[in-house]
Amino acid sequence: MGSSLFSRVKRIIFLDCLCVLGAQKCPQRWMPVALWRTGLLLCFLSLCACLEEECVLGVVGRPVSLPCFYPKLQGLVNFSIEWRRDSEVVLRSVWRNGENAETLSANSATIPADAAQTGNVSLELPAVDPKEHRMNYSLIVVSEGKQSAALCTVCLRIAASFSPPQLQRDEASPGHETAFFCHSTGGFPEPAVHWLINNTEKPPEGSVRTRTASLPDSRLFNITSHLKVNVSRDTNVSCTIENQPMNESLTSTSYGVKSSPVVGRASEAMWIFSTALCAVVGVMVVVGVAYQVHLDRISKRKKREYQHQQGKRGYKWRNRLREENEAMKPEAKETDV
């Protein structure tokens, strides 16, 4: 259906062109209509061409296949295939009597082994590099000493994932602006950065400054975005790195703190800890003092009991001494004798 509509459109353009160019007799009154229709359709076609110029997406670190079909290959006996990147030959494959005689390639690029039978000469690239971004690959067939025009031209588009953004919040003194830094690395192409305040508001104009750096050897991007804005400490601020070709949106959020301006989350924890410590020490002191009082009481009672006993024992002791002395007296006399 699409193709029949397309062929009808083509016939109208063809007839209009003939009319405009005067190659065919057409009623005079057709002329203006043909003119504006031709112009309109040319616009439409150039728009189509723009849309059709969508390139094949190659992701860094993943293989990619550049599609190309050339069914006429099945009718050739001796020929060679060349895939070129701009003017540089990436792959050359020589076929004799329908058999692959040899294939030379740069960067391990391949084509299907049954290319001559199926006409599928898609180029398989095991890896892609950001240096190849927007480069054209084209297929050329050489047969009987004649070189064809480019049979397929495929444009390659490169993409690579960014690292999850790191968001840093530099709290200012009250009344001053808070600074936020959002940093991400290693992606391609240049991403878009979006900031959101409390999940809904966009930051005021002129408060965001974004710097991208491309590493000269890899061409991957580093991005640092800087937001300076007057917000309270309980405000959530998020930064999103959007890499459209990768369908990737990476967001990092700095959550606000719900507390007084002086007591942060860390000092709150410290406060709880020290209160608990004070309570424990207090209990220990009270228990210690109570125990000491208890001990003192016990020792006082023991002392009293001891003195009492000592008193009794001392009486007994003196009595016994006296008795013993009295008993020893006669003996002493005896020894004197």
Ligand X SMILES: *[C@@H]1O[C@H](CO)[C@@H](O)[C@H](O)[C@H]1NC(C)=O
Residue selected from 8, 10, 72, 96 as contacting ligand X according to rule CB under 6 A? 96
Residue 122 within binding range of ligand X, rule CB under 6 A: yes
Least distance from C-beta 249 to ligand X, angstroms?
Answer: 11
Specify the amino acid at residue 256. G
How far is the C-alpha of 132 from the C-alpha of 219, rounded, in Å? 10
Are 148 and 121 in contact by the 8 Å Cβ rule? The answer is no
Residue 297 within binding range of ligand X, rule CB under 6 A: no
Residue 267 within binding range of ligand X, rule CB under 6 A: no
Single out the segment in contact with ligand X by CB under 6 A; choices: 188-196, 226-234, 271-279, 281-289. Answer: 226-234
Least distance from C-beta 212 to ligand X, angstroms?
Answer: 9
Least distance from C-beta 78 to ligand X, angstroms?
Answer: 4
Least distance from C-beta 267 to ligand X, angstroms?
Answer: 20
Under 8 Å CB-to-CB from 156, ≥6 apart: which residues?
Answer: 55, 56, 58, 64, 66, 128, 132, 133, 134, 135, 136, 137
Residue selected from 100, 143, 222, 251 as contacting ligand X according to rule CB under 6 A? 222
* Cβ-based burial of 295 (10 A; exposed 0-12, middle 13-18, buried ≥19): exposed
Q: Which residue in 69, 151, 84, 159 sits closest to 117, CA to CA? A: 69
Which parts of 25-84 interact with ligand X (CB under 6 A)? 57, 59, 65, 77-78
| Residue at shortest CB range from ligand X | 222
β-strand partners of 211: 224
Single out the segment in contact with ligand X by CB under 6 A; choices: 6-14, 117-125, 273-281, 286-294. Answer: 117-125
Under 8 Å CB-to-CB from 91, ≥6 apart: which residues?
Answer: 81, 82, 83, 103, 104, 105, 106, 109, 110, 111, 123
Residue 198 within binding range of ligand X, rule CB under 6 A: yes
C-beta of 222 vs 252, nearer to ligand X: 222
Least distance from C-beta 188 to ligand X, angstroms?
Answer: 12
How far is the C-alpha of 196 from the C-alpha of 236, rounded, in Å? 8
How far is the C-alpha of 66 from the C-alpha of 309, rounded, in Å? 112
Residue 254 within binding range of ligand X, rule CB under 6 A: no
* Cβ-based burial of 161 (10 A; exposed 0-12, middle 13-18, buried ≥19): middle
Q: Tokens at residue 125, please? A: 């690239």
Least distance from C-beta 1 to ligand X, angstroms?
Answer: 23
Give the interface with ligand X as residue ranges (CB under 6 A): 57, 59, 65, 77-78, 86, 96-97, 112, 120, 122, 124, 134-136, 153, 155, 185, 197-199, 213, 215, 222, 231-232, 234-236, 246-247, 255-256
